[in-house]
Structure 1
């Protein structure tokens, strides 16, 4: 959903790629960073659950948590109206809040 295209399979390379791709701070960049943060968080939770509580979730459950988390955060951000914003809203099935434009 976030259009993160990285086929090398190297976790460090993916992190480096996302960390250095911050020049263009558009809505797509924000979504990629939200997805990365949610993945790290929920994978860490899953790891801890397996190690300390012997609780296992399916990969689909983790995916659903990531998607729900990102959607929730997208509902809360304030964005400028643009084609990119509308594309993200359509893809993620959310409606972001719009920045109010003040005309002087």
Structure 2
């Protein structure tokens, strides 16, 4: 859903890629960071559930949690209107708040 593709899929390479991408603070960067953070959080939560409570979710359930979390967070951010923002809103089926009059207040 996020169109995040990295050829180097080892942990160190992924972390370095995210660290280097943080210079470019556009909506794509925000989505990548939100997806990454949600994946780490929900995988760690799943790990703890399996170890300490003997519960486990399917990979689809974890995926759904990640998607819902990212959608919720995207809907809460305030952004400048742009074609990239509108594409992200369409893809994630959400609506972000817009900057009004340059003061950062959402509609």
TM-score, normalization: structure 1?
0.94
Do residues 53 (structure 1) and 39 (structure 2) align? no
**In the aligned structure 2, how far is the partner of 1:8 from the partner of 1:66?**
22
Cross-structure match for 2:21: 21
- Structure 1 runs, 4 residues or longer, greater than 2 Å off: none
With a CA cutoff of 8 Å and minimum separation of 6, indicate the structure with the bigger relative contact order.
1
What SS class does the counterpart of residue 81 from structure 1 fall into?
coil
**In the aligned structure 2, how far is the partner of 1:32 from the partner of 1:71?**
12
Mark the runs of 5 or more structure 2 residues left unpaired by the alignment: 103-107
Residues 4-19 of structure 1 mapped to structure 2, 5 A cutoff: 4-19=4-19
**In the aligned structure 2, how far is the partner of 1:38 from the partner of 1:53?**
21
1:24, CA displacement in angstroms? 1.1
1:7, CA displacement in angstroms? 2.5
Q: CA RMSD in A?
A: 0.9
Mark the runs of 5 or more structure 1 residues left unpaired by the alignment: none
